[in-house]
Structure formats: C-alpha cells, structure tokens
Amino acid sequence: MPPIILRRELTIAWGDCDPAGIVFNPRFFEFFDASTWQLFDAALGVKPHELNAAYGIIGIPLVDAGANFLKAVKFGDTIEIASRAAKFGRSSFQIEHRLSVGGGLHVEGHETRVWAAKDPADPEKIKGIPIPAEVIAKFG
C-alpha cells in the first residue's frame, strides 16, 4: 500500500501575518499540528477524542519540532501542505510537512510525537507505549 499523504489547502489570512504581511513563523507550527491530526483521522478513521477508546492512549504529544523556512509566505497566498508519516519507532514517530505556494516549496517542517498512555505506576504521568503494528500499517 502506498504511503498516505494528506494534502490540504488554505489561504493565508491577515491574522496569520506580521505587520509586513509575512506569515509569523509560529503559525506554521499550528498549521503542522492541524495537518498531523487530519492525517491521523484520514489514516485511522479516529478523531482525537476517540483515541483512548480505540487504542487505549491519551494522545500523540509533540516532543520535537522544527522547520526550514526557504521562501516567505505572505498574506493572501494559497498554500498547500502535504503531510506524511515518515518514520515509526517503537513508541515514537516522525511526521514530515512540505508547504508549497504555486507548486514551489516554501517551508519544510517535521515533528516527533509519542504514542502515549497514562503511566500505570503513576496516573499523574504519561509514558510512551509501543505503537501497534496495525496502526503503522494503516499509514502505508
């Protein structure tokens, strides 16, 4: 099965920008987060609030993120974000995001997240648990 790539388009609003009309860099991480959740919904068919019932986890917390800003993204630009699960480990995984304007790559982003459940030894804490093979298989 080919890997699932979630593609979505949005138009940059003024509220996404600094006074010069260029996207304020932290907004890209919000775009990436929304894309990750939509990718999971597309692959698993499970909404974020249903992950516990479906898989016994409390979520997929972010533990690392980064981006390379290659070209400016500006007010009014229509962007496409292409997101995919790039690598799965035992309890963590990496998501890659490619943000384009008019077919040209403007921003590359990545996230590392953990398949997390409440720690049975201390319910106030969470811990990474093994990602089920059937979950990994659904991403292609």
pLDDT reading at 85 higher than 80: yes
Reading phi first (left if > 0) and then psi (alpha if -120 to 50, else beta), residue 6 is in: beta
Per-domain boundaries in the chain: 5-138
Which pLDDT belongs to residue 98? 98
- Per-residue pLDDT band for 43 (boundaries 50, 70, 90) equals very high
Question: Is the whole-model pTM more than 0.75?
Answer: yes
* The pLDDT of residue 97 is above 90: yes
Burial (CB < 10 A; 0-12, 13-18, 19+), residue 116, is buried
| Mean pLDDT, residues 4-19 taken together | 97
Asked if residues 119 and 126 have their Cβ atoms less than 8 Å apart, the reply is: yes
**Mean pLDDT of the residues in the chain:** 96
Class of domain 5-138: alpha beta
Alpha-carbon distance of 12 to 22, in angstroms, equals 9
Residue 139 DSSP class: T
Q: What is the pLDDT of residue 70?
A: 98
